[in-house]
Amino acid sequence: MAELETFREETRRWLQANAPASMYTPYKTQDELCWGGKKMQCPPDTKRWLEVMAERGWTAPTWPKEYGGGGLAKAEAKILAEEMGKLRLRPPLIGFGLSMIGPLLLQEGSEELRRAHVPAIAKGEIRWCQGYSEPGAGSDLASLQTKAIRDGDIFVVNGQKVWTSYGDKADWMFVLVRTDFEAKKQDGITFLLMDMTSPGVSVRPILLISGSSPFTETFLSDVRVPVRNVVGNVNAGWAMAKVLLGHERTMIADAFKERDDAKRLVSLAREYVGEADGCIADPLLRDAITQVAMDQACLDLTLERSRDNMKAGHKPGPETSIFKYYGTELNMRRRELMVSITGPQGLGWEGPGYDEDELKLTRDWLRSRGNSIEGGTSEVQLNIIAKRVLGLPD
Amino acid sequence: MDLVLSEEQELLARTVREFVNGRSSLKRVRRLRDRHDADGFSRELWREMAALGWLGIVVPEEYGGAGLGWLELMVVLEELGRGLMPEPMISTVLLGTSALLLGGTDAHKREHLPAVAGGERLLAVAYEEPRSRYDLNHVEARAEKSGSGWLLSGEKAHVLDGHVADWLIVSARTSGGPRAAGGITLFVLRADTPGVTIERQSRIDSRNAARVRLDDVRVGAETVLGTVDHGGALLARVLDRATIGLTAEMLGGMTAALEMTVEYLKTRVQFGVLIGTFQALKHRAAKMYIETELARSVVMGAHRALDEGRDDGTIARLASVAKARCADAFNLIAKEGVQMHGGIGMTDEHDIGLFLKRARVAEMTFGDAGHHRDRVARLEGY
């Protein structure tokens, strides 16, 4: 224990000595954080923070040192996270490399792939995107049709991916392709790593109802990918995809943990609705605000319980589906409530008469309508729980 | 403290479940109801529960208890809740014991707690009044100074296990108007003190509740629990503990109702298929399951807060969050349970209806979901 306390002391001192001042300011959206990659454009402080943390391996604290990680034990990583939390420091790097493909490569990748990609992820040199969904394969992901035909030690890939998050900003894509057309649909899928600068890759942003374009369509035309870029085995990509879907759903639930939101709802209501006798003047909105805050508290405790269960050696259960379902539904309710509180001021699209916060709140509400669709629809999550937990018949 | 049961707690849960399955059943619960049992519960089972140490779990060893924690008590209450056990846990172990632990003098504790933990004494806390709804401070019953003691008068309602209690803890107004926050005092007195009239009430869940009339009941100064005029704050703390314990019972009840319903979906055939194949029912069942998981987290979190000795504000908030969640979840699951059972679910013969009735009573015991949301908003200052 004494050693951990020393580690805590040293960590705090090091963080305070090395974090640029602007890294202590809270961020409004993840767009303000560093996602890394060759096309990275971020303020000097953000870049500097990435560099000093990456040098120590603390962008990926628990990854082995030989792959650019910090080599920290879980207890140490927890202390690091706690100290960063206490100082309200921004994470130095986020993205699908750290949260998805990096852990998968460490778990399932060949030594060659690990050496080629994991250190670059930890340093924030390469930004990744995910090529899963297709125009004809949404909820039914396993029916994907993007073809990869083998030509010696090369796969020639043709097809179209859709809903690629930040496909226009990424350097590499991990992509699911069909390599066996006769087998059962789940058994003919291969998990490939693809360089987005390869000839034949083109990307087109998708404009959403919120006016933003965080997703792209990705067109693949005779793209040549070396066979050594297969993660796991040929035709065994579905298992890889499922491992990652679990990560993704937990991440989505975590992303909605916005600590200050209860207070934000209350302060919005005080501003737009007003108070009567010290209470928010509209009793229905007041009740809805409390309901959201209480539901968030219950979800937070459930996330904590799930982590504690895994720590105690219990096998992970169907939590990811619960988190995905409930976390997204709750976030959507919160966004909708914010517009209700704001009233007609929450209806602006752009231009005069609305301030920046109002416009953002409205667009965030529109964007949130996708939460229960992306990463596996709410209905798919309920199907999973009905089948795997409750054992209801097909 | 991690939000996960220890091996010892898991073992305790199994022991209680075996006890409930072996010594009780919903048939027994029905028999108590249908035969208008005079006690409304089994004194024999109560003695066995005392012998197993379950009545004094949170009572310190020096007062004859086990000196264990609230998470242990949670495990017991949840299992009893699965079996809809009507034994007087809420009145005696949650309300009465908490009032004595938080407000009693050493003499009070020595007088009552060993007897409670030993299963020889039942307590009831008479704080609600016919018009008080969920407002603890709405106390019209009065206590007038009389010599060195007090003279109590007024009417109390919905007193859990009132008609079987050996001792009563009563709230009465010693100063201020009928809804004033200050000026309330708690008294602990024998249920057979002259002037006390206890009348059993019959409610939908057939559990014990009673009206208590106080007609010039003369009690000594030593009956005051806590401080004169400051009983309201004490009562609020007592009710937070009892509320948290009640949510554990509700968690057990909703889990059992969900399991019963899912089992029915797997066996009932209509249109030539199991009705559990219908997605309209699957999705609702999955949502019911999610509700039980969220409820379990907050119920555990609230019990943990008591074990960690968190401040009253945190405990009050968690008690309300847990109660609101469990009230909504238990009602949802019980109502959906009846609906998914179809016609048979409406019959008295089928057990799912027992859970529907218990859900509604538990919802309104110590305040419904709306009351607790309002309380959280007030605690948060909006």
H-helix or E-strand spanning residue A160: strand A154-165
pLDDT of A29 reads 80
- Other CB atoms within 10 A of residue A190 CB: 27
- Looking at domain B125-229, its CATH superfamily turns out to be Butyryl-CoA Dehydrogenase, subunit A, domain 2 (2.40.110.10)
C-alpha dihedral sign at A208, A211, A213, A218: positive
Name the average pLDDT for chain A.
92
Is residue A76 within 8 Å of A1, Cβ to Cβ? no
CB contacts, 8 Å: B266 with chain A: 391-393
Amino acid in position A344: P
8 Å CB contact between A106 and A118: yes
CB contact under 8 A, A308 and B3: yes
Instruction: Name the pairing type of β-strands A172-178 and A128-131.
Output: parallel
- The residue out of A180, A202, A234 marking a domain boundary is A234
Question: Does the beta carbon of B7 lie under 8 angstroms from any beta carbon of chain A?
Answer: no
Same domain, A229 and A161: yes
Asked whether residue A260 falls in the same domain as residue A376, the answer is yes
Question: Does residue A256 have a pLDDT over 60?
Answer: no
- Inter-axis angle of helices B26-34 and B352-364, nearest 10: 70
Residue B338 in this model has a pLDDT that exceeds 80 = yes
Please report the pLDDT score of residue A254 as a whole number: 57
A251 within domain boundaries: no
Same domain as A377, residue A262? yes
CB neighbourhood size of A286 (10 A): 21
CATH of domain B7-122: 1.10.540.10
Residues of A in contact with B247 (CB under 8 A): none
Provide DSSP, A309-331: HHHTTPPP-SHHHHHHHHHHHHH
Measured at the alpha carbon of residue A371, what is the angle toward residues A365 and A372, in degrees to the nearest 5? 120
Q: Which of A196, A215, A115, A185 is nearest to A157 (CA)?
A: A196
In which band, very low, low, confident or very high, does the pLDDT at B268 lie, cut at 50, 70 and 90? very high
Outline which parts of chain B fall under CATH 2.40.110.10. 125-229
- The B residues from 205 to 264 touching A (CB cutoff 8 Å) are 262
pLDDT band at A26 (very low <50, low <70, confident <90, very high): confident
State the amino acid at position B102 in one-letter form.
L
Residue B150 has pLDDT above 70, yes or no: yes
**Is residue A375's pLDDT more than 90?**
no
A365 and A333 within one domain: yes
Residue A283 has pLDDT above 80, yes or no: yes
Q: What percent of chain A has pLDDT over 90?
A: 83
- Rounded Cα distance between A8 and B281, Å, is 51
How close B322 comes to chain A (CA, Å)?
A: 8
Q: Does residue A248 belong to any structural domain of this protein?
A: no
Q: Which of B262, B373, B378 sits opposite A390 (nearest CB)?
A: B262
From the list B3, B283, B289, which residue is nearest A304 (CB)?
Answer: B3
Residue A203: how many other CB atoms lie within 10 Å: 18
Tell me which chain B residues have a C-beta less than 8 angstroms from the C-beta of A392: 262, 265-266, 276-277, 281-282, 285
pLDDT in tens, B176-195: 999 999 999 999 999 999 99
- A145 and A74 within one domain: no
Torsion angle of the four alpha carbons A290, A293, A296, A300, in this order, in degrees rounded to the nearest 10: -130
Number of domains making up chain A = 3
Averaged pLDDT, A291-307: 93
Q: Measured between alpha carbons, how far is B10 from A142 in angstroms, rounded to an integer?
A: 40
CB-neighbour burial class of residue A74 (10 A; exposed 0-12, middle 13-18, buried 19+): exposed
Residue of B nearest to A392 (CA): B276
Looking at the complex, report in whole angstroms how far the Cα of residue A308 sits from the nearest Cα belonging to chain B. 6
Say which of B265, B294, B300 has its CB closest to residue A299. B294
Cα atoms in the Cβ-side hemisphere of radius 13 Å centred on B266: 13
Whole-number pLDDT of residue A244: 82
A231 CA to chain B: closest CA distance, Å? Answer: 34
| Chain B hits for A393, Cβ within 8 Å | 266, 274, 276-277
Picking from A102, A122, A142, the residue at the C-terminal end of a domain is A122
Q: Which amino acid, B337? A: G
Reported as a single tens digit per residue, the pLDDT across B96-146 is 999 999 999 999 999 999 999 999 999 999 999 999 999 999 999 999 999
Residue A226 and residue A134 share a domain: yes
Residue A300 placed within a domain: yes
The answer to whether the CB of B303 falls within 8 A of the CB of B73 is yes
The answer to whether position A52 is within a domain reads yes
Mean of pLDDT over chain B: 97
Q: Is residue A201 part of a domain?
A: yes
Nearest-Cα residue of chain A relative to residue B378: A279
Q: H/E element holding A159?
A: strand A154-165
A266/B382 CB distance under 8 A: yes
Interface size, chain A vs chain B, as Cβ–Cβ contacts under 8 Å: 114
Assigned CATH topology for domain B232-379:
Butyryl-CoA Dehydrogenase, subunit A; domain 3 (1.20.140)
CATH 1.20.140.10 segments of chain B: 232-379
In this structure, are A210 and A275 located in the same domain?
A: no
| CA gap A112, A285 in Å, rounded | 57
Q: Which residues pair with B189 in a beta bridge?
A: B168
Domain annotation covers residue A247: no
Domain boundary among A79, A104, A122: A122
The predicted structure's pLDDT at residue A257: 54
Task: Note the ipTM here.
Answer: 0.95
Q: Which among A159, A197, A163 has a CA at the least distance from the CA of A179?
A: A159
Best probe of the A interface among B259, B274, B298, B340, by most A CBs < 10 A, is: B298
C-alpha to C-alpha distance for A290 and B161, rounded to whole angstroms: 33
A200-217 tens-digit pLDDT:
999 999 999 999 999 999
CA angle centred on B103, ends B99 and B106, rounded to 5°? 110
Instruction: Examine the domain organization and report whether A132 and A96 are in the same domain.
Output: no
Which residue in B has a C-alpha nearest to residue A378's C-alpha? Answer: B283
Q: Quick check: is A368 in a domain?
A: yes
Q: Are residues A373 and A266 in the same domain?
A: yes
B379 in contact with A, Cβ within 8 Å: no
Give the Cα separation of B297 and B294 in Å (integer).
5
Instruction: Choose among A269, A275, A383: nearest Cβ to B282.
Output: A383
A278: CATH: 1.20.140.10
Q: Which residues of A touch B321 (CB under 8 A)?
A: 294, 297-298
CATH number of the domain within which A201 lies: 2.40.110.10
Q: Which letter does DSSP use for residue A394 in this model?
A: -
CATH code for the domain in which residue A111 is found: 1.10.540.10
Amino acid identity, residue A289? I
pLDDT score of A253 more than 60: no
Residue A300's φ and ψ, nearest 5 degrees, are: -60, -45
Tell me how far apart the alpha carbons of residues A100 and A83 are, in angstroms, rounded to a whole number. 24
* CB-based contact, B344 to chain A, within 8 Å: no
H or E stretch including A225? Answer: strand A215-226
d(CA A18, CA B41): 67
User: What token pair was written down for B68?
Assistant: 């264990």
Residue A239 within any structural domain of the chain: no
> Does A303 share its domain with A369?
yes
Residue A10 clears pLDDT 80, i.e. is over it: yes
The closest alpha carbon to B298, from B318, B282, B315, belongs to: B318
pLDDT recorded at residue A251: 59
Q: Is the pLDDT of residue A247 over 90?
A: no
Instruction: Give the DSSP letter of residue A19.
Output: S
- Provide the residue range defining the domain that includes A16: 2-122
Decide if pLDDT at A250 tops 80.
no
* A348 and A268 in a common domain: yes
Report the C-alpha gap between B333 and B257 in whole angstroms: 7
Shared domain check, A221 and A262: no
- CA distance between the termini of chain B: 31
Q: Are B180 and B142 in contact (CB under 8 A)?
A: no
- Which of B1, B2, B4, B328 to mutate: most A Cβ within 10 Å? B4
